[in-house]
Amino acid sequence: MTDLISGPGTGQSNAVPADDETSVQPPIDGSQPVEWAPMEPAPKKRRLGLWIGLGTGALAIAAAGASLLLIAPGTTIGGVPVGFMTPGMAAEAVSSHLASTEVQLTGAGDGARVDGADLGAGVDATRLADQAFADRPMWNLGAWMGEPIAAEVTLDPEVADSALRAAVPASYTPATDATVAFDAAAKKYAATPAEPGVGISVDDLTAEFTAALAAGKSSFTYSGDPTEVAPLITDEKAAATVDKLNGMLAKAGFYVGDERTVPIAPEVAASWITVGAVEGELEITADPAKIQAVVDTLPAKVDREVVNARNIVDSDGKVLKAITEGKEGRVLGDTSSTASDFAEKLGGGDSAFALPVTSTPFESTNLFRRVEVDLSEQRTYLYENEKLVKSWSISSGKGATPTDKGRFRVYAQLRSQNMGREDTTVKPFYYTPNVPYVTYYNGDEALHGTYWHSNFGTPMSHGCVNMPIDAAKFVWEWTTKGTEVWVHD
């Protein structure tokens, strides 16, 4: 029997097993023949279960991670399935499906085809996809197989109209838009009415496109027969624009506070303004370069020196009349951006531009004026702030028709008046035509000019205060309604 010992590559060791320590061992002096033989390899440990366990766990982790990134199964946006997709993938799928959806035209357009891309079809795919993921994440089992998410399709009006015209030119007679223009003779804006045309309704096609998308269709039919097509710029839009523009013309100007300091004539404002059609709406724009020509003239029209006020007042300080209207001084500020700023305001419908100014307030001087008639002296005195201004001899009422004494106020002034009656046989038994510069202060008593006598200093009248004509004129101009008159002995 050949002995077996360990050797290189045998997988065995020279170490003697612990339970064999007392057994007889072969000699190691070379007298015994030795034969090498491999020992049985030690059995390998089985790790299959571990590997299977790791794979299942990885898959579970991956699935859990995916559930946090994907939209729930069964979700559709506008008829497009987006389950198991990220929001970005979903948005791309919806947009791609929309662009490739084919419209097969029938009727007058029989055989013609256009797709979503040709029509400028659009939908807010990114928002819808983000909302789908927010409302229906895959991890929420309750959100699986949910109701379809509606998607409203829009068609670019100009792109769609151009594509349909090219596909079915026989179905088109252009509509005529309403227009708005300035009437130089009337100095206001007026509208030219619109005229409908015929064509293929983009609005109706948009509704059909939305319905087809919701149904998950990749193609649908639509009639290419002509129908009446309203103009983009309707009479109502034009009328509203005319009203706005004419309102602007009425207020156009450069303002300091509430004062329209520099009015702008309608024809000038209209020369600044352009009215054009933009995407089916009338748009108002203005040219800053044309406005600048007027801005350059503003300093001469706005700047002014302060003007102090002078007022006639009564003894209580109440203003009876402004002799000189007070005006604040002002200097125009920076206008470097005025033209462009005004152009922008005009585009928005506002034609009143507030100017930057530095103001200096005015001062007021009040003049208390009163008239005094001294019957004993037969003299009239004028006082301003209690300083004597003028004095004249007068003729008051005679003994049978005395002048009333008391404190009165001027209540009426006439440049000329016929006094008495032409029939002198009845009261007041006199007639004096064209009495000049009449200042009434007490019933039918007045200070007035007298041309029929010059006996001043002596009572001569029927109750009025007779004065030299130049003196009566001075009083007439110097007093006003409310001026106090004191008649005394």
| pLDDT tens per residue, range 407-460 | 999 999 999 999 988 888 888 888 999 999 999 999 999 999 999 999 999 999
Amino acid 250 reads A
Asked whether 116 and 99 are in contact (CB, 8 A), the reply is yes
Q: Is the preceding omega at residue 468 within 30 degrees of 0, hence cis? A: no
- Measured CA to CA in angstroms, residue 37 lies from 14, 33, 441 at distances of 14, 13, 157
Distance between CA atoms of 439 and 311, rounded to whole angstroms? 20
With a cut of 50, list the residues of the chain below it in pLDDT.
Answer: 1-40, 48-54, 56, 58-60, 62
Domains recognised in the chain with CATH numbers: 1-43 (no CATH), 69-232 (no CATH), 237-360 (3.10.20), 367-488 (2.40.440.10)
Instruction: Give this prediction's pTM.
Output: 0.54
| pLDDT tens per residue, range 164-201 | 999 999 999 988 999 999 999 999 999 999 999 999 88
State residue 429's pLDDT score: 82
- Measured CA to CA in angstroms, residue 213 lies from 125, 237, 244 at distances of 13, 33, 42
Asked whether 446 and 440 are in contact (CB, 8 A), the reply is yes
State residue 60's pLDDT score: 47
Nearest Cα residue to 482 out of 404, 419, 413, 415: 413
State residue 11's pLDDT score: 39
Distance between CA atoms of 459 and 223, rounded to whole angstroms? 109
State residue 66's pLDDT score: 59
Asked whether 85 and 119 are in contact (CB, 8 A), the reply is no
Radius of gyration of the chain (CA): 54
Asked whether 310 and 365 are in contact (CB, 8 A), the reply is yes
Could you tell me the two tokens for 279?
Answer: 């995407």
Asked whether 175 and 230 are in contact (CB, 8 A), the reply is yes
